[in-house]
Amino acid sequence: MQFVRINDIVIQYDIQRAGEEKPVIVFVNSLGTDSRIWHHVLPKLADDFTLVTYDKRGHGLSDLGNPPYSIDDHVADLAGLLDHLGLSRVIVCGLSVGGLIAQGLYATRPDLVKGLALCDTAHKIGTPEMWAKRIAAVEADGIGSVLEDIMARWFTQPFRNVGNTAYQGYCNMLMRQPILGYSGTCAAIRDADFTEAARRIAVPTLCVVGREDGSTPPELVRSLADLIPGARYEIIEGAAHIPCVEAPAAFAAVIRGFASQLN
């Protein structure tokens, strides 16, 4: 775990180096989570890839900054981190809002991107009305007021069993996110639209989704894949919006298969 100041905020990051010649995968987490969601995936990839994780602004151990944010703020943080690490031509694996950030990075700094793994995401997520309602709810009554609804979108019913301690842990993760970091990133998602930019993506791209995703359903992720020339589309069974938690072996296998094919 390391820290660096990027764009006047402190960003927490970690890098696991596998060797100078190994491909680099950068993981960008979803709204209301931190880099620990990749915990069970990283060991399955660490021998063959250099792996970078970080907490985006307003999440985890990174600074809050000045919310509300734009996607450009999150993109600039990621670009700054990669420049700090001296990395380019990386594979960006972004989940949900992380997928929007990945698309934004390619649109503004294509020199940094070798390939895109766009996970449980879309070119545009939700409606302005939906995000306005979410922002109002959490700022008035806290994240707990939307916890049950969000968890039903994030995880399958079997995972949400009251006896599953991991499920309680991920509830805790969401509940402990800074409210303004959470609502500030909701605003960034609300205003992001990569519909036209997706048509111009010219690097190898994987679009992957959990079969039971309630936030960005398979048909929405499929519509993103249809926009991107030559994109590959995969469904992970037995998972919802966060397959890296519910089905880490299957998720890692899909990412490995994609990343291994890139020159």
Of 223, 251, 206, give the one whose Cα is nearest residue 38. 251
User: And the tokens for 50?
Assistant: 């250099």
* CATH number for the domain harbouring residue 134: 3.40.50.1820
Sheet bearing 90-95, strands edge to edge: 2-6, 9-16, 50-54, 24-28, 90-95, 113-119, 205-210, 232-236
- Predicted local confidence at residue 263, as pLDDT: 67
Domain containing 125 equals: 2-260
Q: What does each of the 263 residues of the chain score in pLDDT, given as a tens digit?
A: 999 999 999 999 999 999 888 999 999 999 999 999 999 999 999 999 999 999 999 999 999 999 999 999 999 999 999 999 999 999 999 999 999 999 999 999 999 999 999 999 999 999 999 999 999 999 999 999 999 999 999 999 999 998 999 999 999 999 999 999 999 999 999 999 999 999 999 999 999 999 999 999 999 999 999 999 999 999 999 999 999 999 999 999 999 999 999 96
- β-pairing, 205-210 vs 113-119, is parallel
Neighbours of 256 (CB within 10 A): 16
Number of domains composing the chain: 1
- Predicted local confidence at residue 112, as pLDDT: 98
Residues 6+ apart with CB under 8 A from 43: none
- Decide if 122 contacts 99 (C-beta within 8 A): yes
HEC profile of 170-233? HHHHHHCCCHHHHHHHHHHHHHCCCHHHHCCCCCCEEEEEECCCCCCCHHHHHHHHHHCCCCEE
φ and ψ at 176, to 5 degrees?
A: -95, 0
Q: Which helix (H) or strand (E) holds 105?
A: helix 97-108
d(CA 229, CA 108): 18
- Predicted local confidence at residue 219, as pLDDT: 98
- Predicted local confidence at residue 19, as pLDDT: 83
pTM greater than 0.85: yes
For the chain, the residue count is: 263
